[in-house]
Structure 1
Amino acid sequence: MTLQQLAYFVALADVRSFTRAADQEGVAQPTLSRQLKALEDELGAPLVNRGRGELTLTPAGEAVLPLARRMLSDMDSARTAVAELVGLRRGRVRVGATPSLCIGVVADVLRVFHEQYPDIHLELSENGSQPLARDLARGQLDVAVLVVPREGLDPSLEITPLMRERLSVASPRSGRPPSSRGSMSLTELSRRSLVMFRKGYDLREVTLQAYADAGVTPKFAVEGGEMDAVLRMVEAGTGMAVVPDLVFAGRPRLRRTVLTPPLYRTVALARRADLAPTQATQAFCDTMLSFISEVSATGGLSADVQVLHRWRDGGAGLARD
């Protein structure tokens, strides 16, 4: 068995076509087919069904796929770590983050990190927390900044809680305040039209769960937007939205109204627990933690954002507040 054979198998599993997999891997289709057959002979079972129609994996293929992904990821991490140590290159960090966190804290952390480590290549992937967690487990990301759901995340991931952030109602500042008190309940909000995020967005799931817990039904003006689109539609007066407090910074056209009782979400830093981070990945984690601590200490975060970890001077470690 070779890593190249595993790479061909993973490519085939991803695109479900011998022709496209061969093109993706830069080899002739007969070469890919021969290598896959050699892998199947070594394992003693077929990995793909070769009948007519869409290519599918056999039960053996389904069992081997996550292991193959992890083996390829571990080899890639080994190459990166050794390259850093011998001075071939400074490294790479594949960062995942939810769209709302990209708009808030992650964009600033990436800027600071790039200023400190200009030779480290940064790759950013925006997605919902559950897809990001899956990509971490598969070895397709090195670290992710995500929202911890109620049911928790994959136990194979190491989770470092960063902050507990309040969610508030965004409305257009050009219109009348939704409440004269500066706060409103979910029952009051249910009488207003919402601009709702697309399916798979953490904020959508948190908002809908809060409505269900309150025993009320949401009313939508528009569904299916990304973060930027939702905020622009709110500014234009299309409807209201439930958003993290951090997104209000630098958006003077939005009015913030707090929810009562308050609604929170927990933001965390996640990576694979079974894989030691490369120097570059560890440097990114250190930068994230120190940045949040510094911004919190200087009053740069909303009073409703609770920092769950602070960075000790000199990188000595973490301490829960």
Structure 2
Amino acid sequence: MTLQQLAYFVAVADVRSFTRAADLVGVAQPTLSRQLRALEDELGAPLVDRGGRNGPVLTPAGEAVLPLARRMLADADSARTAVAEIVGLRGGRVRVGATPSLCIGVLADVLRVFHAQHPGISLELVEDGSPPLVRTLSRGELDIALVIVPPGGVDPALHITPLLRERLSVASPATQPPPSGRGSLTVRELARRQLVVPRQGYDLREVVQRAFADADVAPRYAVQGGEMDAVLRLVEAGTGVAVVPDLVFVGRPRLRRTVLTPALYRTVALARRADLKPTHAVRAFQETLLSFLAELSAGSGLPGDVQVLHRPDH
């Protein structure tokens, strides 16, 4: 039995819906259901009747466990509060940097979860390309940043924790026929289509241009420039297609994903200055991020071809 399982059970009891309970605690629904089953197996009795006409209904065993679960979670929260006051998590600041595609794909949810867990900590977000973020981090103007690892590696003065390996795919409007009947596009085939690319400074733009150069073909641009959100909106509107990381397809049903061959991958890492000891607040943010990614991976909440490279220590 874990506190996390008890929290999932209480959430289901409060909202009487597995879907809304999963949203409330910030995990994928399969993860919540699996953990609740494990709790029931541990206790030796079902806690929730899943066949109710109006949603999940607590069994007699669930009714008996619910007040005990609430008390245990309250005691755990009191313990966290007492320790947080000692180690400084009741206040402080975390300055986070991230690329626009990561802000769209995963970071917004992580910031939401972290703020709920540590409402006394001030969060500051800087959105930019990886090279500018690395420079800002090196100057001490950021505490931590999610960056793309370049082919030659990053500055050795930074401490790097690889987080994700994700594929780059072709995004096209879902309202139009797929760009390829076989579900994939070569770089040469992509060169015959109108392309939307972000502004200079995006590592993604440089990767795409290098792929065209390696294939000895020239791209045809529909629109150049703009931030990632603008690129995706232009694609949704039918202006052209774009090469984007698989994470951005989350929650965008108006986009169609077509794999690019040969495959292009990139590695996302968490970076901070190696010469500075991270504060308790920064460590807490890192733990929240790693736990969130682990939950997504366990619940099959990661889109396309995305692999989690680092797991939380606990």
Q: TM above 0.5, one fold? A: yes
SS at 1:309 equivalent: coil
- 1:207 aligns to what? 208
- 2:117 aligns to what? 116
- Distance apart, 1:151 and its partner CA: 1.9
Give unpaired runs (5+ residues) of structure 1.
1-83, 315-321
- 1:179 aligns to what? 180
* Offset from partner CA, 1:8-28 (integer Å, 9 cap, x none): xxxxxxxxxxxxxxxxxxxxx
Q: TM-score, normalised by structure 1?
A: 0.70
CA–CA distance in structure 1, aligned partners of residues 124 and 96 of structure 2:
6
SS at 1:310 equivalent: coil
Confirm or deny: 8 A CA contact 2:89 2:121 kept in the other structure: no
Q: TM-score, normalised by structure 2?
A: 0.71
CA–CA distance in structure 2, aligned partners of residues 96 and 237 of structure 1:
31
- 1:300 aligns to what? 301
The one of the two structures with greater contact order (alpha-carbon pairs below 8 A, sep at least 6) is: 2
CA–CA distance in structure 2, aligned partners of residues 236 and 88 of structure 1:
44
- 1:196 aligns to what? 197
CA–CA distance in structure 1, aligned partners of residues 165 and 211 of structure 2:
16
CA–CA distance in structure 2, aligned partners of residues 191 and 88 of structure 1:
54
- Where has structure 1 moved over 3 Å in runs of 4 or more? 84-89
- Distance apart, 1:192 and its partner CA: 0.5
- Distance apart, 1:247 and its partner CA: 0.9
CA–CA distance in structure 2, aligned partners of residues 86 and 303 of structure 1:
39
Change (3 A) 1:104 1:88: closer
Alignment of structure 1 residues 58-77 onto 2, 5 Å: none
* Offset from partner CA, 1:180-237 (integer Å, 9 cap, x none): 0010100100010101100001211111111112221111001012111111111111
1:236 is aligned to 2:248? no
Q: CA RMSD in A?
A: 1.6
- Distance apart, 1:86 and its partner CA: 8.0
Change (3 A) 1:185 1:114: same
* Offset from partner CA, 1:242-270 (integer Å, 9 cap, x none): 00111111111111100111111100000
- 1:166 aligns to what? 167
- 2:228 aligns to what? 227
Identity %, equivalent residues: 70
Confirm or deny: 8 A CA contact 2:160 2:272 kept in the other structure: yes
Change (3 A) 1:174 1:118: same
SS at 1:266 equivalent: strand
Confirm or deny: 8 A CA contact 2:167 2:305 kept in the other structure: yes
Q: Which residue type is aligned with residue 157 of structure 1? A: L
CA–CA distance in structure 1, aligned partners of residues 252 and 87 of structure 2:
46
Q: Which residue type is aligned with residue 175 of structure 1? A: Q
Change (3 A) 1:229 1:88: closer
Change (3 A) 1:86 1:263: closer
* Offset from partner CA, 1:61-118 (integer Å, 9 cap, x none): xxxxxxxxxxxxxxxxxxxxxxx75869511000000000000111111011001101
SS at 2:192 equivalent: coil
- 2:285 aligns to what? 284
SS at 1:115 equivalent: helix
Q: Which residue type is aligned with residue 229 of structure 2? A: D
1:105 is aligned to 2:106? yes
CA–CA distance in structure 2, aligned partners of residues 164 and 87 of structure 1:
33
